[in-house]
Amino acid sequence: MSRSKMADVARAAGVSKMTVSRALREGSVIAPATRQRILAVVERLGYAPEEAARNLSSRRSGFVAALVPSLNNPQFAETVRALTETVEGSGLQVLIGHTNYEAAREERLVGEFLRRRPEALVVTVDGHSAATRRMLAAADVPVVEMWDWPTRPVRHVVGFSNKDAARDLTRHLIERGYRRIAFVGETESDGTRGAKRRDGYAAAIRRSGLGPPRIHNHAPPPISMLQGRDALREVLRQWPDVDAVMCVSDPCAFGVLTQAQAQGIDVPGRLAVAGFGDFEVSRCCLPALTTVVVDAAEIGRRAGLLVASLRGRGNEGAVRKQELIRIPVRVEPRGSTGG
Amino acid sequence: MSRSKMADVARAAGVSKMTVSRALREGSVIAPATRQRILAVVERLGYAPEEAARNLSSRRSGFVAALVPSLNNPQFAETVRALTETVEGSGLQVLIGHTNYEAAREERLVGEFLRRRPEALVVTVDGHSAATRRMLAAADVPVVEMWDWPTRPVRHVVGFSNKDAARDLTRHLIERGYRRIAFVGETESDGTRGAKRRDGYAAAIRRSGLGPPRIHNHAPPPISMLQGRDALREVLRQWPDVDAVMCVSDPCAFGVLTQAQAQGIDVPGRLAVAGFGDFEVSRCCLPALTTVVVDAAEIGRRAGLLVASLRGRGNEGAVRKQELIRIPVRVEPRGSTGG
DNA sequence: TATCCATATGTTACCGGTAACATAACAAGC
DNA sequence: GCTTGTTATGTTACCGGTAACATATGGATA
């Protein structure tokens, strides 16, 4: 016995396919009694509509495509969670992809996702390739860039300036009295969020006349906790007099912290440590890590609301509009910088 | 100018739609010269096939649906990553959903995903509702359960026994000389992986004649690092003489560890701590946390290979077959238990 | 009672591809 | 030269829904 289809339901209920179609969609004109009768038949036959047919016919996929660098990152995971839960109220599903921080992989995924005719495409700003930028600009669906403030936005943006935030964090360290501040960043980064943070650090150092920036680009993103441990060793070898280490992200900073403790280096007494992103580990560890607090869920929520608002009747107009939503972030001083 | 479709390409290339369709699929009979000509036209027109139409007509969605309790969990994220990268070699995309550890949400998502006619459904064993079990059993696509060893498998399984692993870990603590071992677990858990771990702990304690198990069910899953801190306070209040705390998961254990350190309790001198899952934080922290090492990526990879192998021509036969793949796990003694 | 309108349902023609079968063209075998 | 087989392409009929328009039905209104 094959899966039943709409025509089967229609026959069993003594109505036309179209009436069944109406019974299944909220907000269509149909007599309540008829709807009840049809829903009973649907239940009895275990009928479930075929989404592919619905998509083709109605020209709406019910998908939102989202691309993040990595799923194995609590911040992006939180953004995706919030995005998903926000849009599912509008009957949308989120198709998630991860780029692994690779521009080529991102390019391929953007292409594949666009074939699915998503109702919107949400991407993480992270050094797109030229081809990716072209596809995004030419896409006939709304595009939302998130997690940074792009120099030249494709369309909508939900983000903040990583550069400014890193600059503020660096200034905080300087105000606290630290003078020989090193930065642990990522290699192979160009136009990425990590690069922006590094730029913010460098700008603040130069502006303060503290000599040349001490930048150690340790590994390709993402830098893990254990890599953070290695990074501190190399930083100490290169600049033995360093009195503060600022990291491109919290996991890296946690590694730096534990490595310092393993070597008997007092934090923050002899060495300050700061991260970026406000991962849970940073709140929980001893001392807690000074960081830039980013409300990852808020980014996902705002992106979701934006996407939901774009899929109305006024689609054609809305697609062309541009919304730029700035998410507030802040430096949170904690124990690791003398909190 | 509207998006071009296959008929447009066919006209421009002077062939039929069908020939264009063949040119676009690997392994179909077509003259190389014709294919080249058609691909050039495809390129020129920027043609991209509509997946929805392809799905409807060919009856294959190109989707694998995967359900995990949470994305904000490095272990599940890693499984999903490995699953995704394994199946994309077969031209499949993974549709990811998160249940938030809620059976009702899982039930809804399974229903929604099945409407998309995925080529396989991968779910995390975690106390399914009765309705969910019914849908899974009745599904006309392959179903893979992962991350535990279900008592009564629906179809395929890629997992390990959480109960056995927790029992082994408890025995390890007993061998190390700990006698007053408490367990921090989850509330509202029935048939979940957390409950299995608790059962394994309780079984080992009873078997060893160490008196009644000391179980503190702290909060609904997932238990966060910060909740782990609270949990230790409550454990100490309830059983002041406790000499070891075993946790349902690593993040919880990390919280317990930091809370102990914050209170000046020596780990492992006065208190041992153990987790479950081998999260990176457990390797990196001081002392490193004894835990059960689970190769999350391997689970995703094996599930992916299974799914890919199931979508051949012999579909009908394969769907009914049952593969049970056991993933090896092991207790890894580290500093937090005197390791 | 005739007209009009609102409500409820039916009819038709697709959406954009692919499966399955049909056909054309040409080389090989006898 | 005729059959047979192989390769390359075309034709037809859907896949399972929904948009758009047509139609039937039954008050309310004049």
Strands A330-332, A291-293: pairing kind: antiparallel
Residues A202 and A91 in one domain: no
Residues A174-179 have a mean pLDDT of 95
Q: Chain B neighbours among A 134-173 (CB < 8 Å)?
A: 138, 140
Measured between beta carbons, the chain B residues lying within 8 angstroms of A224 are 280
Whether residues A111 and B262 touch (CB distance < 8 A) is answered with no
CA angle A243, A246, A250 (to 5 degrees): 135
Q: Output the pLDDT for position A191.
A: 85
Residues B303 and B276 in one domain: no
pTM, entire model: 0.93
Q: Output the pLDDT for position B320.
A: 54
- Using C1' positions and the CA of B19, the closest nucleotide is D9
| Residue-range definition of the domain harbouring residue A16 | 6-49
Residues B66 and B81 in one domain: yes
Measured between beta carbons, the chain B residues lying within 8 angstroms of A91 are none
Q: Output the pLDDT for position B310.
A: 84
Q: Output the pLDDT for position A339.
A: 66
- Residue whose C-alpha is closest to residue B66's, from B141, B118, B128: B118
Whether residues A3 and B80 touch (CB distance < 8 A) is answered with no
Asked if residue A39 belongs to a domain, the reply is yes
Q: Output the pLDDT for position A316.
A: 46
- Residue whose C-alpha is closest to residue B258's, from A333, A287, A279: A287
Looking at the structure of chain B, the number of domains it has is: 3
The answer to whether the beta carbons of residues B233 and B260 sit under 8 Å apart is: no
State, as a whole number of angstroms, the distance between the CA of B8 and the C1' of C11: 30
For nucleotide C15, the protein residue with its alpha carbon nearest to C1' is A57
Asked if residue B309 belongs to a domain, the reply is yes
Strands B272-274, A214-219: pairing kind: unpaired
Residues B138 and B170 in one domain: no
Cα atoms in the Cβ-side hemisphere of radius 13 Å centred on A112? 20
| All residues at 6 or more sequence positions from B16 whose CB lies less than 8 Å from its CB, including other chains | B10
State, as a whole number of angstroms, the distance between the CA of B34 and the C1' of C26: 18
Measured between beta carbons, the chain B residues lying within 8 angstroms of A53 are 56
Q: Output the pLDDT for position A188.
A: 78
| All residues at 6 or more sequence positions from B4 whose CB lies less than 8 Å from its CB, including other chains | B45, B46, B47
CA angle A211, A216, A217 (to 5 degrees): 135
Q: Chain A neighbours among B 27-56 (CB < 8 Å)?
A: 46, 48-53, 55-56
Residue A318 has pLDDT above 70, yes or no: no
State, as a whole number of angstroms, the distance between the CA of A5 and the C1' of D14: 15
Residues A38 and A73 in one domain: no
Whether residues A50 and B56 touch (CB distance < 8 A) is answered with yes
Residues A117 and A149 in one domain: yes
Please give the Cα distance from A250 to B177 (Å, whole number).
36
Whether residues A117 and B50 touch (CB distance < 8 A) is answered with yes
Q: How far apart are the first and last CA of chain B?
A: 69
The answer to whether the beta carbons of residues B94 and B64 sit under 8 Å apart is: yes
Asked if residue A334 belongs to a domain, the reply is no
- Using C1' positions and the CA of A117, the closest nucleotide is C16
Residue A300 has pLDDT above 60, yes or no: yes
State, as a whole number of angstroms, the distance between the CA of A28 and the C1' of D26: 20
Q: How many CB pairs under 8 A join A and B?
A: 115
The first and second tokens of residue A195, run together, are: 């690069």
Give the residue carrying structure tokens 């949170």. A332
Whether A104 has its CB under 8 Å from any CB of chain B: the answer is no
Q: Is B34 helix (H, G, I), strand (E, B) or coil?
A: helix
Asked if residue B338 belongs to a domain, the reply is no
Nearest to B77 among A77, A93, A117 (CB): A77
Whether residues B280 and A55 touch (CB distance < 8 A) is answered with no
Residues B96 and B133 in one domain: yes
Residues A205 and A289 in one domain: yes
Residues B112 and B126 in one domain: yes
Residue pLDDT, tens place only, A212-267: 999 999 999 999 999 999 999 999 999 999 999 999 999 999 999 999 999 999 99
Residues A35 and A181 in one domain: no
The answer to whether the beta carbons of residues A231 and A184 sit under 8 Å apart is: yes
Whether residues B117 and A50 touch (CB distance < 8 A) is answered with yes
**B312 band by pLDDT with thresholds 50, 70 and 90:** low
Measured between beta carbons, the chain B residues lying within 8 angstroms of A61 are 52
Whether B18 has its CB under 8 Å from any CB of chain A: the answer is no
Residue pLDDT, tens place only, B111-151: 999 989 999 999 999 889 999 999 999 888 999 999 999 98
Give the residue carrying structure tokens 């001083």. A333
- Let me know if A159 is exposed, middle or buried by CB neighbors in 10 A (0-12, 13-18, 19+): buried
Whether residues A50 and B115 touch (CB distance < 8 A) is answered with yes
What is the CATH number for B313? 3.40.50.2300
Share of residues in chain A with pLDDT > 70 (%): 96
Asked if residue A285 belongs to a domain, the reply is yes
Asked if residue B339 belongs to a domain, the reply is no
Q: Chain B neighbours among A 220-249 (CB < 8 Å)?
A: 224-226, 228-229
